[in-house]
Structure 1
Amino acid sequence: MVLGGAKIRQWKQWETEIHKNNAGNGPKKLTNVQQFEFIRERFNGVGMESTVLSWMHSFVKQFYASVTKSDYATMRLGFIMTHCRGNPKFGFHRYMVRALEADFKKVVGIRWYLWIFVVIFMLLNVNGWHTYFWISFLPLILLLAVGTKLEHVIAQLAHDVAEKHSAIEGDLVVNPSDEHFWCGKPRVILYLIHFILFQNAFEIALFFWILTTYGFNSCIMDHVPFIVPRLVIGVVIQLLCSYSTLPLYAIVAQMGTFFNKEIFDEHIQQGLVGWAQKARMRTELSKDAAAAAAAGPTRHGASSRLEMLRRAAAMMQCRRSLPR
C-alpha cells in the first residue's frame, strides 16, 4: 500500500497542472485524432486492427510507464464528462484515492473461499510433487494477466475513439463502459487482486512459520533449489502488484459504466444514507396505509361498532360506581 500510494501521489501534480490549464481555456480547434498523445502511444507502429499486437503491447506496457500523463488526463476527462459534466473542476485524484482505500479494506479481508484454497493447498503437499514451488507461479500468472487486461482496457478506450472519429474539436473524451472488463464487471479485477495478494502473503508467511517451527532442513521445507525461486517470485509479485498493478487498477476501475459512492464526501454519504432510509420508511408506511384502505368498509364498520360498545360499557360502569 505504501508503494502504491507513492505512485499515485505522483499523479497529484498532474491533477494540479490540469486545473491550472483549465483556468485559461482558449478557443477549441479541430485536431486529427492521430495527433493526440493518448492515441499515438497505443497505436504508434501498432495497427489498430491487430488484436494480437495490441495485447502484446498491453502486456509489455505494464512494466514501464503503466499510466502516463496523457492517460491520466484523458481518463479523468472521460470520467467527468460521463458522471459529473456540470463540475469540470471535480477533484478526480481525491475521489480515486478514496475509492482505492475503500477497495483496499476489502482486499485485506479473508473470505471463506480463500480458506478452502488454503486447505486444498496444504493437502496437495505430497512428497516429490514440489507443490509449493509450482503453485507459486499461479499468482504471478494471474498478476500478469490482470496487468495486461487493465492496460488493454485503456487501449480499447483509445480504439473506440479512433474508430468513431477522424478529427475531434477540443479535448479528447473517452466513453467509460463496463463492456471493456471481464464479464462486464470491473469488480472481477478486484477479486483477482485479492486472491493474488492473499495467496502470495500466505506462501511467504508459511515459509517463515516452517523456518521458525521446524528449521530450514525440515522435510516440509523442500529442497533449496525450489525454495529460492519461490521467495524471489514472492518478492517480484509484491513489488509489481504494489507499484504497478494497484495504481493501474485505481484509475482504470473508474472507467466502468457506474461510479462509486466515494464520489461524495463522507458527511454527504451519511446524509444520503439517512435520506434513503427515511424514503424507504415513507414508502413502507404508504404501502401499509393503502393496504388498510383496500381492506374495505366492512372491517372498518365492525371495528367502529365494537368501539361504540366498549364506550357504552365503560359509561354503564361509571354510572354504577357513582354515589347515590
Structure 2
Amino acid sequence: MAGGGEEGATLEFTPTWIVAAVCTVIVAISLLAERFLHYTGTYLKKKNQKPLYEALQKVKEELMLLGFISLLLTVLQSRIVKLCVSPNIMNHLLPCSLADKANGGKLSHGHDAPATEHHRRLFAEAENGLGEGHCGKQGKVPLLTLEALHHLHIFIFVLAIVHVTFSVLTIVFGGAKIAQWKKWEDSAAKNENNTREALAPKVTHVQQHEFIKNRFLGMGRVSALFSWVHSFFKQFYASVTKSDYLALRLGFIMTHCRSNPKFNFHKYMVRALEDDFKIVVGISWYLWAFVVLFLLLNINGWHTYFWIAFLPFFLLLAVGTKLEHVISQLAHEVAEKHIAIEGELVVTPSDDHFWFHRPQVVLTLIHFILFQNAFEIAFFFWILVTYGMDSCIMGRLGYIIPRLVIGIFVQLLCSYSTLPLYALVTQMGTHFKKSIFDEHVQVGLAGWRQMAKKNKGLKGGSTAGSSHPNQGSTGGSTGIQMVPSNGS
C-alpha cells in the first residue's frame, strides 16, 4: 500500500532521461488523440454530417472537463492530503469491512461480523502509517490519501470514456438497424408513384390492413391490458415491422407534409436521431449527481453496486414497452373510429400518447439508461484493474456475474430495439423537429427570422416615436414571420 512515507525522490534528484522519456510518451499519446479527433471532425464536415460533428465537439468538451478535473486534483492534492480527521471517523460508512482491511483489501470469506480487536489494531496502524508526517504528528489521519485521490481520478476518467464509447456503439448499431428500413422507404415511394397512375382509391375494411391486424387487440379493459403485455414482449422480437413503418410514415407525411407526398421520411428520421445524439453523448449535471450518490451509498453489506444494476434494466423495459404501446394506440384510434376507409390508412400523431405529453422525456430516459449502464461497466473494470478480482470492493462472484449479464443485455437491447423504436415513434408527436429542413434551409430560415425580428423592432421603434398615427406603416410587410403550422 503506497503511502506518504514512500514518496521517493523528487524531480530534483530524478535522472533527466527518465523525465524526458515520460514526458515524450505522454505528449505523444496526447497529440495522437488530438489529431484523431481533428481528422474525425474534418471527415464529418466533409461528409456534411453536422449533427455528428457537433456530437464530436461535445466529446471534446467532456475531455476538456476531465482535463480540468485532473488539473484541479493535481494542484489541490497537497492540500487535500493535509486535511486531518480523527481515526474514528474512518471506521464508518466503508465500502469494505474492517476485517477486509486487515486482510490486505482482499475479500474475507467469513461473515460480516464486527471486526476483532486485532483487526481494529491493524486498521489503526495502517491508517497511522499513511498519516505519518503532518497528520501523524497530530494523532490524526488524512481525510483522503494521495493514493485514494489517484484512484478517484482514474475512476472519473474511465467513467467518461466508457460512457462516450458505449453511446457511440449504441448509435452505430442502432443506425445499422435503422438503415435496413431504407428499403421500406424506397418501396413506399415507388408504390406512391404507381398509385398516381392507378384508378381512384377503393374502400377497404379497416381490419384488412396489416397494421391493424398486428396491433389492434379489440376494445375493453381486458384488451387494454393485453395491449400492454403484447407491447412488452414485442420489443424483444420484430419491434418494428414494415406495416408499422409504412403506417407511421404516412401518418407523419399527411400531418406535417401533405403538400410534399414525396417527402423522404427515412432521411429525416436519421437526421433527427443524429441531432439527438449530441445530447446523449454528453454527461449532464444530474448524471454526475448520480455518481456522487452512488459513491455515498456504496457501503459494505448494502451491495449497492448490485441492486443499482437493475435500474437501467427496468427503465429500458419500461421505455421499450411505452414506445411499442404508442404504435398500438395509434392503431386502436383508427380501428375504433372507422369501420372502413377510402384509400390508405392514416394514423394521427399526437403528444398525448407520450409520458407527460412530452416525447422528449423518452430521450432523457435513454440518456440516463446509457450512462448508468456505462457506469456499471466502468466501475467493474476500474475495480478489476485497480484492486483486482478478489478485492473486497468487487464483491462476491454471485453479485458480479449478474451485473455483467445485465449490462450486456441492456446495451444490446437499447442498440437493436429501443433506439430504433425511439427514432421512429418519437416522430409521432404533435410537432415535427427542425431536422425536417435540410441544413442550408435551416440556416436560411434562421437568418430570415433574425432579419424579420430586426425589421419588426425597427418598425415598432419608429411607430412609438412618431406623432402621426399613419407614420411608420411602410415596410411593415418585412415584419411578417413564417411559423410552420405543425412544428417548431
d(CA) in 2 for partners of 1:53 and 1:193? Answer: 25
Q: 1:56 to 1:294 in 2, by over 3 A?
A: farther
Is 1:208 the counterpart of 2:381? The answer is: yes
Is 1:3 the counterpart of 2:173? The answer is: yes
Paired residue for 1:15? 185
Paired residue for 1:109? 282
Conservation of the 8 A alpha-carbon contact between 1:32 and 1:168: yes
Is 1:167 the counterpart of 2:337? The answer is: no
> Equivalent residue of 1:220, what SS?
coil
Q: 2:360 aligns with which of 187, 199, 218?
A: 187
Structure with higher RCO (Cα < 8 A, 6+ apart): 1
d(CA) in 1 for partners of 2:203 and 2:456? Answer: 51
> Equivalent residue of 2:180, what SS?
helix
Is 1:48 the counterpart of 2:219? The answer is: yes
Paired residue for 1:311? none
Q: 2:256 aligns with which of 70, 83, 86?
A: 83
Q: 2:395 aligns with which of 200, 210, 222?
A: 222
Q: 1:133 to 1:292 in 2, by over 3 A?
A: same
Is 1:293 the counterpart of 2:466? The answer is: yes
Paired residue for 1:298? none
Taking only the aligned residue pairs, the percentage that are identical comes to 69
d(CA) in 2 for partners of 1:162 and 1:94? Answer: 29
Aligned-pair CA distance for 1:287 = 2.3
Letter aligned with residue 425 of structure 2 = V
Aligned-pair CA distance for 1:293 = 2.8
Q: Which has the higher helix share?
A: 1
Aligned-pair CA distance for 1:89 = 0.7
TM-score (norm 2): 0.59
**1:127-160 Cα shifts (integer Å, max 9, x gaps):** 0110010010000000000000000000000000
> Equivalent residue of 1:219, what SS?
coil
Paired residue for 1:321? none
Paired residue for 1:284? 457
Paired residue for 1:64? 237
Where do 1:88-99 residues align within 5 Å? 88-99=261-272
List structure 1 runs of 4+ shifted beyond 3 angstroms.
none
Aligned-pair CA distance for 1:21 = 1.2
d(CA) in 2 for partners of 1:136 and 1:76? Answer: 36
Aligned-pair CA distance for 1:48 = 2.7
> Equivalent residue of 2:204, what SS?
strand
Letter aligned with residue 20 of structure 1 = K
d(CA) in 1 for partners of 2:243 and 2:218? Answer: 20
Aligned-pair CA distance for 1:288 = 2.2
d(CA) in 2 for partners of 1:15 and 1:228? Answer: 42
d(CA) in 1 for partners of 2:191 and 2:466? Answer: 62
Letter aligned with residue 166 of structure 1 = I
Aligned-pair CA distance for 1:224 = 1.1
Of stretches 82-91 and 274-283 in structure 1, the one that deviates more from structure 2 is: 274-283
**1:83-136 Cα shifts (integer Å, max 9, x gaps):** 010111100000000000101111111111111111111111010110010010
Paired residue for 1:152? 325
Paired residue for 1:33? 206
d(CA) in 2 for partners of 1:111 and 1:293? Answer: 50
Unaligned runs of 5+ residues in structure 1 are 296-324
Conservation of the 8 A alpha-carbon contact between 1:31 and 1:169: yes
Aligned-pair CA distance for 1:163 = 0.8
d(CA) in 2 for partners of 1:48 and 1:39? Answer: 13
d(CA) in 2 for partners of 1:148 and 1:265? Answer: 32
Aligned-pair CA distance for 1:290 = 2.7
d(CA) in 2 for partners of 1:117 and 1:146? Answer: 20
Letter aligned with residue 218 of structure 2 = G
Paired residue for 1:250? 423
Conservation of the 8 A alpha-carbon contact between 1:47 and 1:53: no
Paired residue for 2:409? 236
Letter aligned with residue 41 of structure 1 = N
> Equivalent residue of 2:341, what SS?
strand
**1:5-50 Cα shifts (integer Å, max 9, x gaps):** 111011000111111111111231111101111000013xx33322
Aligned-pair CA distance for 1:209 = 1.2
**1:233-253 Cα shifts (integer Å, max 9, x gaps):** 000000000000000000000
Letter aligned with residue 121 of structure 1 = F
Is 1:275 the counterpart of 2:448? The answer is: yes
> What is the count of residue pairs matched by the alignment?
294
Q: 1:216 to 1:166 in 2, by over 3 A?
A: same
Of stretches 92-101 and 215-224 in structure 1, the one that deviates more from structure 2 is: 215-224
Letter aligned with residue 249 of structure 1 = Y
Measured on the aligned residues, the alpha-carbon RMSD in Å equals 1.3
Aligned-pair CA distance for 1:294 = 6.2
Unaligned runs of 5+ residues in structure 2 are 1-170, 469-488
> Equivalent residue of 1:293, what SS?
coil
d(CA) in 2 for partners of 1:285 and 1:118? Answer: 50
